[in-house]
Structure 1
Amino acid sequence: MDGLSFGWRTALLLVMFIQLLLLALSLTRALQNRIANRTMAVLLLVLAGILIPWMIGFAGFYDKWMWLTFAPFQISLAVAPLFYLYAHAIVTGQWSDKGYWHLAPAALQFFIYTASFLLPFTLKMQWADLAAPAFTWITSIGIMVGLAYYCYASLRLLQHYRAALAAARSDGHRYAALWLGNAIFALALLLLIWTSFLVWDLLSPLGYSGLMWLYVAIGAFALYLGIEAWRHATLAFPPIDSLKAVADTLPPPRDWIELGKLWAEKVKAEDWAADPDLSLATLARKLGTNSGHLSRAINEGLGVNFATFVNDLRARSVAAMMMQGRQDDLLDLALEAGFSSKASFNRAFAATFGTTPSQWRKRQVSNHE
């Protein structure tokens, strides 16, 4: 087309844009975690929209069709609150109270862009020269504040969720530690990159081409979120309220230390910790008690949370198998003992014995020589 130039910058952003649209579409079709997945789908569409002005700008669209100025593609103030609402939906199964109010600044940004876009062309160009630079910087500050605040809020939410998982389940790492923690780290990294580019541009203007790499970073962040959210789309995250309901029942006073020791010996003798899906409720049924009693006996009587209690038993089971002369691969022994991953096995073994499983095995071999 006359006046247009489709170079490598446009091609790179276009590839990212198409992939984000496909990921957003796939997330809307997932039946599990529907609120969270659809929130992520909207977030991916918002991030894809942020790429549009630069994708078509490098191709010359704004030079050829200047009426595209202020087209409301780039609703950047929605990124941080949508991320938080996704995290909240993963942890609780729903949006936060008054969730739509979190999006009020983004709605105002969309309204201003749309109203400016609909102005008569001559007035629009005058308005662009007069107000666009100031509006850009006000928006940029809003982006930085929003990313910082919602990154902190999401981290606090994850910490509460991890604590609830540790109190009620032995396999909490499946749900929280990696995916949501890494996503929050990626959001913090995006904050650092975005802030760095804005400060750089303020001190030494980068120009349209110089800011290209900021939008490549935004696209990479969006693709990471989309791919990982799609990989975890069907994982059944236990709602935090259900975890607290299991662990926070208040039973009558008892000798929790004695009960903790008694039940710990029973669990060890029956090898119930070998069940990789063992939960507080399941173990309470096996012991003929309720979840509240068992939670108090473990937390107050033994001084640890449920996950630490179970994984300590599993680590000691692996150690016992090695002392018996078992030469199986360490991962096979870990899976037999009830661990569901090598990472969780290594962490639990080091917490119990103060060393790695391989070093512990070598030490046992040398002691018998």
Structure 2
Amino acid sequence: MALLTFGWRTALLLFASIEMLVLAAALWQPLANRTANRILSCLLIVLVGVILPFAIGFAGFYDRFPWLSFAPFAVPLAIGPLLYSYAYSLAFAATPPRLALHLVPALAQFGYQAVIFPLPLSVKNHWDAIATPVLAPILMLALIASLAGYSIASLRILRLYRIALAQQRSDDDRLSARWLSRAVVALLLLLAISLAYAAWNAFIAPLDYFGVIGRYLAIAAIGCYLAIEGWRHADLRLAPIPVPSNDEPPAPSRDWRAQGAAWASQVRDANWQRDPELSLAALARMLGTNTAYLSRALNEGLGVSFSTFIAGLRCDDVAATLRSGSEIDLLRLALDAGFGSKASFNRSFRARFGLSPSAYRRAHASNPK
């Protein structure tokens, strides 16, 4: 009887699996972004299922318990649709249309394994010898197409979300879910790694069970990153983006540049930009107008998004303080101006003045105004 051996490969994959399962359970609880969090929870469980056969395989489970062959643990065709659904639900606070249809290939993959798994071992071995050489390349091509297509679609959804967010919120950097874009890019990198493995296996030298460990460690790392960042942002209300009001269509003859300048002066005088959670709708109410008028004054009149407009006013406040020779800590100045983090402040300040805040302070240290 084969012995079980728990080496470093099994230890790493099992540790990552446990972490993902714990956080998947935790993500089922928060009320904020409930739909998105539960989709992410399902995605993490699917990722655990993908690496589990290798985690136990490296330990010798399939040698010790050969009846485990075809156990329906791994359903990789579910990764793409769930990742896209998570991005969509963050952006729109709803599941994507026809989600069930997106999951049909994954359900078929699971059903195929579930049907064969309870068959006698001799039957399974015979079927494996006949079908796997034919089905494995088809499954690989389907997986590549699924991951590539859904990853690109996810990035497109996140890009549209950020464009809309910049028109509606002043704290768009905090709500932009850039961590999810990094995870999607990492998944595309994993796809490239998988293609490299497949090419090596097909054209250079066949890889044994241990030769593909790098691929599954990469899956585990991406899964842990998704789990940790998803949990960190579980209560952050990212969506939905309110639709601008069209109840009072802007008049084509209005001078939007003059109107934008007048409203900018009014906002600056009242220091409304210092509200770290200021939204387009809230500012429109303060100005006594509607979101359609305000958006047009900013976009067409001043040539900026709402987020850029508010960030610019905040940067102007900090710059004026720095020119006065103030020694107040930059983070304190950023927070007082309305920025949610030093990182977003640094990006906005450099974009407006072409210098970092610290460099701007040094440039004006000897000539306070």
TM-score w.r.t. the length of structure 1 is 0.94
Q: Which residue of 1 aligns with 2:249?
A: 250
What does 1:120-135 align with in structure 2 at a 5 Å threshold?
120-135=120-135
Instruction: Give the C-alpha shift of residue 266 in structure 1.
Output: 0.8
Query: Given the alignment of the two structures, is residue 210 of structure 1 paired with residue 211 of structure 2, yes or no?
Result: yes
Partners of 2:312 and 2:348 within 8 A in 1: yes
* Bigger shift: residues 145-154 or 174-183: 174-183
Partners of 2:325 and 2:365 within 8 A in 1: no
Instruction: Count matched residues.
Output: 367
State how far apart, in whole Å, the 1-side matches of 2:350 and 2:45 are: 43
Q: Which residue of 2 aligns with 1:307?
A: 307
Structure 2 runs not aligned, ≥5 long? none
* Bigger shift: residues 150-159 or 7-16: 7-16
Q: Which residue of 1 aligns with 2:262?
A: 262
Instruction: Give the C-alpha shift of residue 197 in structure 1.
Output: 2.1
* Bigger shift: residues 100-109 or 4-13: 4-13
What per-residue deviation string (whole Å, max 9, x for no partner) do you get for residues 275-334 of structure 1?
A: 111111111111111111111111111111101111111111111111222111112111
Residues 1:174 and 1:246: Cα distance change in structure 2 (over 3 Å):
farther
Instruction: Give the C-alpha shift of residue 367 in structure 1.
Output: 4.2
State how far apart, in whole Å, the 1-side matches of 2:249 and 2:199 are: 53
SS at match of 2:365: helix
- Residue 238 of structure 2 aligns with an amino acid whose one-letter code is F
Partners of 1:168 and 1:279 within 8 A in 2: yes
- Residue 217 of structure 2 aligns with an amino acid whose one-letter code is V
SS at match of 1:97: coil
Instruction: Give the C-alpha shift of residue 177 in structure 1.
Output: 4.7
Partners of 1:168 and 1:307 within 8 A in 2: yes
Instruction: Give the C-alpha shift of residue 224 in structure 1.
Output: 0.7
State how far apart, in whole Å, the 2-side matches of 1:247 and 1:228 are: 36
What per-residue deviation string (whole Å, max 9, x for no partner) do you get for residues 109-157 of structure 1?
A: 1122122223332221111111113322221221111111111101110
Partners of 1:35 and 1:95 within 8 A in 2: yes
State how far apart, in whole Å, the 1-side matches of 2:189 and 2:236 are: 26
- Residue 138 of structure 1 aligns with an amino acid whose one-letter code is I
What per-residue deviation string (whole Å, max 9, x for no partner) do you get for residues 45-93 of structure 1?
A: 1110111211121222212222211111110111111100011111111
Residues 1:137 and 1:249: Cα distance change in structure 2 (over 3 Å):
farther
Instruction: Give the C-alpha shift of residue 2 in structure 1.
Output: 5.8
State how far apart, in whole Å, the 1-side matches of 2:302 and 2:247 are: 17
What does 1:149-164 align with in structure 2 at a 5 Å threshold?
149-164=149-164
Q: Which residue of 2 aligns with 1:91?
A: 91
Partners of 2:298 and 2:309 within 8 A in 1: yes
Q: Which residue of 1 aligns with 2:232?
A: 231
- Residue 103 of structure 2 aligns with an amino acid whose one-letter code is L
What per-residue deviation string (whole Å, max 9, x for no partner) do you get for residues 193-232 of structure 1?
A: 2222222222322210111221111111111111111111
Instruction: Give the C-alpha shift of residue 102 in structure 1.
Output: 0.9
State how far apart, in whole Å, the 2-side matches of 1:64 and 1:346 are: 57
Q: Which residue of 1 aligns with 2:185?
A: 185
Instruction: Give the C-alpha shift of residue 171 in structure 1.
Output: 0.6
- Residue 250 of structure 1 aligns with an amino acid whose one-letter code is P
Instruction: Give the C-alpha shift of residue 11 in structure 1.
Output: 2.0
RMSD (Å) for aligned C-alpha atoms: 1.8
- Residue 25 of structure 1 aligns with an amino acid whose one-letter code is A
TM-score w.r.t. the length of structure 2 is 0.94
SS at match of 1:4: coil
Instruction: Give the C-alpha shift of residue 335 in structure 1.
Output: 1.3
Q: Which residue of 1 aligns with 2:165?
A: 165
Partners of 1:167 and 1:247 within 8 A in 2: no
Partners of 1:147 and 1:191 within 8 A in 2: yes
Instruction: Give the C-alpha shift of residue 4 in structure 1.
Output: 2.2
Instruction: Give the C-alpha shift of residue 368 in structure 1.
Output: 5.7
State how far apart, in whole Å, the 1-side matches of 2:368 and 2:3 are: 81
Partners of 1:52 and 1:73 within 8 A in 2: yes
Q: Which residue of 2 aligns with 1:222?
A: 223
Instruction: Give the C-alpha shift of residue 24 in structure 1.
Output: 0.9
Q: Which residue of 2 aligns with 1:363?
A: 363
Partners of 2:13 and 2:220 within 8 A in 1: yes
What does 1:1-369 align with in structure 2 at a 5 Å threshold?
3-203=3-203, 204-240=205-241, 242=242, 244-246=243-245, 250-253=249-252, 254-367=254-367
What per-residue deviation string (whole Å, max 9, x for no partner) do you get for residues 246-286 of structure 1?
A: 58973333221111111111111111111111111111111
Partners of 2:2 and 2:60 within 8 A in 1: no
SS at match of 1:343: helix
Partners of 1:49 and 1:74 within 8 A in 2: yes
- Residue 207 of structure 2 aligns with an amino acid whose one-letter code is L
Structure 1 runs not aligned, ≥5 long? none
Partners of 1:148 and 1:188 within 8 A in 2: yes
Partners of 2:315 and 2:348 within 8 A in 1: yes
State how far apart, in whole Å, the 2-side matches of 1:356 and 1:202 are: 51
**Sequence identity percentage:** 49
